Amino acid sequence: MCLVSLSIPNCDSSSSSLILSTPYAKFFWGGTLLTIFVTLVIFSFFLLGWERIKYIGSLEWFIRTITNNIIPARKQTFDSTVIWWQRGEKDVENTFTNPDWIDLVDPVKEKEENKDEFLLEQKDSKLALILSIVGLVTLIFNAASIFGLFVTINARKIEGKNKKNTAALVLSIIGCVFFVAFYAVCFSVKIGSLGLPI
């Protein structure tokens, strides 16, 4: 990808030699979004693989290995059979896979204890409505409609159907349709055809 468009002619920030086998080739918007998607997929697989080896080789692993081998108090916490380089491994199971979650507010318990007050507050429905409105009226944060849809579905399960989550459901569905339509246009229209300087 090219960062300085002034130094290289016909250079575009969305160019990539991976997709077209031509460096600095200009893409449609769809090519740009495809480049972003492919990059995210590659990095996701990279991080999943790194998680399998417990982040050995990362900066955190180096720091943990040094401190766990030098500081006596930390060194004593490990069994003598643990090899020096294993002392810096990340505990993936307890940190990421099955962490010890702390729920500050349990919606089911709160609903049972303060049913009338809980239904009057309608916290999830309010949040769903805000997200759906933001997703509908803004172009940059249009993806909020997708999150709003999930929050709306969850709010209808917990709080039951009400005016707020019904309105949020309609607005978030409209926002999701706009989201899909916007990116469909991005995949088919060149930026230059809109008269924008590129």
Residue 118 three-state SS: helix
Q: pLDDT by residue (tens digit) across 124-160?
A: 888 888 989 998 888 778 888 888 889 889 888 888 8
E strand or H helix that includes residue 80:
none
Over residues 186-192, the mean pLDDT reads: 73
pLDDT at 165 over 90: no
Burial status of residue 5 (CB atoms within 10 A of its CB: 0-12, 13-18, 19 or more): middle
Residue 82 three-state SS: coil
Higher pLDDT, 137 or 195: 137
Q: pLDDT by residue (tens digit) across 38-76?
A: 889 999 999 899 888 988 888 989 998 999 889 888 888
Q: What pLDDT sits at residue 14?
A: 40
pLDDT at 172 over 70: yes
Q: What pLDDT sits at residue 123?
A: 80
Per-residue confidence at 18, pLDDT binned at 50, 70, 90? low
pTM of the predicted model as reported, rounded to 2 decimal places = 0.46
Over residues 17-45, the mean pLDDT reads: 79
